[in-house]
Structure 1
Amino acid sequence: MSINNDVDAVRERTARDTEETAPLLQGAVLSRARGASFASSVFNLMNAIMGSGILGLAYAMASTGIVGFCILLVLVSSLAAYSIHLLLKLCDQTGINSYEDLGGKALRKPGKVLVGIAILIQNIGAMSSYLFILKSELPAAISSLLSADSTGNAWYEDGRLLLIIVTLCVVLPLSLLPKIGFLGYTSSLAFLFMLYFAVVVVVKKWSIPCPLPHNITSLSGALTISNSSDSECSPKLFVISSKSAYAIPTMAFSFLCHTAVLPIYCELDRPTKARMQKVTNIGISLSFLLYFISALFGYLTFYTHVESELLLSYDAYLPRDIMVITVRLAILLSVLLTVPLIHFPARKAAILMLFGGRAFSWLIHIAATLTILCVVLILAIFVPDIRNVFGVVGSTTSSCLLFVFPGIFYLKISRQPLRSFDSVGAALLVVFGVIMGVISFCVIVITWAKSS
């Protein structure tokens, strides 16, 4: 009798628990069903892809030629989509939704630390490139808004001083916030700024004559003697030089979105690998289109005289053009609001490597924030050319995160036979990433040595 009573009591308790948890489970399902839509996921991925790289691709086209640039851009974007395909397969197999945790699964703690270091360096490089844009563009933007007869060595013409002020007054307070989710709403605005940038580059193709005007004084005060001739107004199809070594790293830098793919996958409504792969393919294809249009028309405007940061090319020829002024302000605003967002995963990777899973501490939080921003600020102030950031970061951490790590992780974690299509593809991805990174980095270092 006692046993029957115990059984009845267990049944009643189980039924009661089921009744209590059923609404919670139903609410969880409904909440999961109201995930990010397909369109918003594409949009978020494009915002993760597109950044300061769009300003350096015209220089990459001038260094490789139109056909050479197209081949390389198609190759890098296709390999980026394929490496994401491998990451998504691993995510489905393991249930892991973090790039660092995939590194830990494949190579244990060294793999997790290695991925963390790569993410830290990559994001520091990205933030440095953004602050470099602020340093070079903000004085020109302020000068263009003031009266034409305002001359002299005004304090607002010092890009380094402006950069320090903006970092202390805007970037630092936003980066110190423990949660910065509200800045995610600026992603749509940032994408519209990039679209507007591409439109302006196309429209201004017909505003600057070729051959370029002679004896142009840039905003920095230097007199540039332009020796453009009619022969320089014909586009080059293939170009091979030491400058070509910057092309692939710049493209790798421009298509790196892998640290954001898995979180977007987790938030996707009705998440499946095929659905997320479609999001990836559309996002990369649309980014490819904007990149190609901006690079092509930027190159066809300035040809061999294009600057490594495209907006600087317009300073000498259209210093007070209203469209150039507005697009400069739009890019600056987009860059300014993006830096704190990029800072968060960099700080997370640094704290994870140094302190592991330790509870949140304001002291560690503030110290890590200040240290990372100081390093970024120093790089942005003293690096003379943005192509150096694209070249070094793109040939090292970008190539690892884009090509090498996904291939190695797939070969270590996947249960597929080594002769399967994806295993062979993963191996080729690793080989390509290593060869591309080593060759590009070596040529860049040799170029520095010769120039010095």
Structure 2
Amino acid sequence: MEAIKQEEHSVTIPLLFGNGDMEKNAKDEQCISIGNASFISTCFNGLNALSGIGILSVPYALASGGWLSLILLIVIASSTFYTGLLIKRCMDADETIKSYPDIGDRAFGKTGRMLVSISMNVELYLVATGFIILEGDNLSNLFADIDFNIYGTRIGAKSGFMVLVAIVILPTIWSDNMSILSYVSATGVLASVIIVGSILWAGAFDGIGFHEKGKVVNWSGVPSAISLYAFCYCAHPVFPTLYTSMRNRRQFSKVLFVCFTICTITYSLMAVIGYLMFGSNLESQITLNLPTNNISSRIAIWTTLITPIAKYALMLTPIVNAIEAQFQSSHNIKMNRFLIRTILMISTVVVALSIPSFGYLMSLVGALLSSTASITIPCLCYLKISGIYRKIGIELVFIGLVVLIGLIVTVVGTYVSLVDIISHL
């Protein structure tokens, strides 16, 4: 769910191709006109939405669950593809629906809108926190000999780099002009290709090789694996914007099929390559396993480092807008904005410093929030809006199975993730 932007009750993303002026306030315009984005343009936007930092942790997910856990990746991909189609059906049922919270509102009223908005904003907050951890991990891996000393207090490399990166990012939080960062953040597809290519090159030509056999299955790691797989497919809040941006909305199902197919192949390829290269020794981010003296490794690591810096402010924008909306009547609006954004930034750094591992945090996000927003909520909203829950049929049974998958991932994955985090604090 890269680069989501929420203003009042609307949710939009920067569309790099096609209809570039989609980001408008719902109060100023009651109905967004049909966009002019082509099929190819929407495919690129969809791939950008689905291509995120999950690609770094998917090898660790495979190492946690074993080779057979790849089946779970396919199950999660299929389930989330189907729930993406359900979102389309919900929007077809009511032309006034323009955003993901609108779907929750149409199905369950203000309570539905509130639950959808909360799940989205909490997920964005934790993903932004994950960016800070990712930066600290990789920079400390590149510059392992550096320590920070502040007024006689020695700070470890990882913690020091987290604070340093936060200082670098902070000015982007203060700015209200997000258009430039929107375009920079839309390089997710290219970044994913570069990372996969660099790691494949490192394994094939830089002496690492593909010699690890791995395990067929590791039952104790399956919950973590499926949670991380769920995190890879958490772009559903973006789909309503993609849908409304299209010139020919009837092609949206094909767009979803293309995007999910390409991303699943990419995630699977990265998982298999990483597991064959490093086996059970995989870190929560595969870049942490790469030898830093190789050019291919450095390309992968620096690509990993640059993208989150540009995306951080965009991830927090919906949360910032929601909080600032509560202080619109204040006389000193500029000061309130400064304080809100600074405090929000500091809070993510504090949380990042307290979380022991990037993998544990992403596993928690995937289990608790991604599975809820991308699997359970679309099913429940569709059942309510369509009314098919009133009669038993094949579709109702199938949706019930998908909901069951979402609930199992949420309950089991969240429990295991919290236990892992608490035990390593």
Q: Quote the residue 1:285 is aligned against.
A: 261
Query: In the aligned structure 2, how far is the partner of 1:450 from the partner of 1:168?
Result: 30
Query: In the aligned structure 1, how far is the partner of 2:423 from the partner of 2:137?
Result: 25
Q: Quote the residue 1:415 is aligned against.
A: 387
The TM-score with structure 2 as length reference comes to 0.82
Secondary structure of the corresponding residue to residue 56 of structure 1: helix
Q: How does 1:244-393 map to 2 (within 5 A)?
A: 244-272=222-250, 275-314=251-290, 318-350=291-323, 361-363=333-335, 365-393=337-365
Amino acid at match of 1:336: I
Q: Quote the residue 1:80 is aligned against.
A: 80
Answer yes or no: is the 8 Å Cα contact 1:249–1:395 preserved in 2: yes
Query: In the aligned structure 2, how far is the partner of 1:430 from the partner of 1:73?
Result: 17
Secondary structure of the corresponding residue to residue 255 of structure 1: coil
Answer yes or no: is the 8 Å Cα contact 1:124–1:372 preserved in 2: no
Query: In the aligned structure 2, how far is the partner of 1:194 from the partner of 1:357?
Result: 43
Q: Quote the residue 1:64 is aligned against.
A: 65
The TM-score with structure 1 as length reference comes to 0.78
Residues 209 and 202 of structure 1, relative CA distance in 2, 3 Å threshold: closer
Deviations 1:139-175 (A, max 9, x none): 33457xxxxxxx5646797232333233233x22222
Q: Quote the residue 1:220 is aligned against.
A: none
Equivalent of residue 374 in structure 2, options 386, 394, 402 = 402
1:247 Cα offset (Å): 0.9
Equivalent of residue 178 in structure 1, options 176, 179, 182 = 176
Query: In the aligned structure 1, how far is the partner of 2:123 from the partner of 2:324?
Result: 16
Amino acid at match of 2:182: G
Query: In the aligned structure 2, how far is the partner of 1:359 from the partner of 1:195?
Result: 48
Residues 423 and 349 of structure 1, relative CA distance in 2, 3 Å threshold: farther
Q: Quote the residue 1:235 is aligned against.
A: 214
1:268 Cα offset (Å): 1.5
How large is the Cα RMSD of the aligned pairs? Answer: 2.9
Answer yes or no: is the 8 Å Cα contact 2:355–2:421 preserved in 1: no
Q: Quote the residue 1:135 is aligned against.
A: 136
1:340 Cα offset (Å): 1.5
Q: Quote the residue 2:5 is aligned against.
A: none
Q: Quote the residue 1:427 is aligned against.
A: 400
1:447 Cα offset (Å): 4.4
Q: Quote the residue 2:29 is aligned against.
A: none
Residues 271 and 448 of structure 1, relative CA distance in 2, 3 Å threshold: closer
Query: In the aligned structure 2, how far is the partner of 1:289 from the partner of 1:389?
Result: 24
Answer yes or no: is the 8 Å Cα contact 1:44–1:187 preserved in 2: no
Query: In the aligned structure 1, how far is the partner of 2:329 from the partner of 2:38?
Result: 32
Single out whichever of 297-306 and 375-384 deviates more from structure 2. 375-384
Identity level (%): 23
Query: In the aligned structure 1, how far is the partner of 2:212 from the partner of 2:135?
Result: 31
Query: In the aligned structure 2, how far is the partner of 1:276 from the partner of 1:365?
Result: 38
Answer yes or no: is the 8 Å Cα contact 1:34–1:269 preserved in 2: yes
Unaligned runs of 5+ in 2: 1-31, 150-154
Query: In the aligned structure 2, how far is the partner of 1:373 from the partner of 1:262?
Result: 28
Q: Quote the residue 2:162 is aligned against.
A: 163
Amino acid at match of 1:94: D
1:415 Cα offset (Å): 3.3
> How many residues align structurally?
386
1:33 Cα offset (Å): 7.4
Query: In the aligned structure 1, how far is the partner of 2:190 from the partner of 2:173?
Result: 23
- Structure with larger Rg: 1
1:445 Cα offset (Å): 3.6
Amino acid at match of 1:101: D
Answer yes or no: is the 8 Å Cα contact 1:38–1:279 preserved in 2: yes
Amino acid at match of 1:260: V
Answer yes or no: is the 8 Å Cα contact 2:128–2:312 preserved in 1: yes
Query: In the aligned structure 1, how far is the partner of 2:386 from the partner of 2:89?
Result: 8
Query: In the aligned structure 2, how far is the partner of 1:357 from the partner of 1:400?
Result: 34
Query: In the aligned structure 1, how far is the partner of 2:147 from the partner of 2:164?
Result: 18
Residues 348 and 322 of structure 1, relative CA distance in 2, 3 Å threshold: same
1:357 Cα offset (Å): 12
The structure in which a higher percent of residues are helix is 1
Residues 358 and 254 of structure 1, relative CA distance in 2, 3 Å threshold: farther
Residues 208 and 379 of structure 1, relative CA distance in 2, 3 Å threshold: farther
Secondary structure of the corresponding residue to residue 291 of structure 1: helix
Query: In the aligned structure 2, how far is the partner of 1:333 from the partner of 1:449?
Result: 30
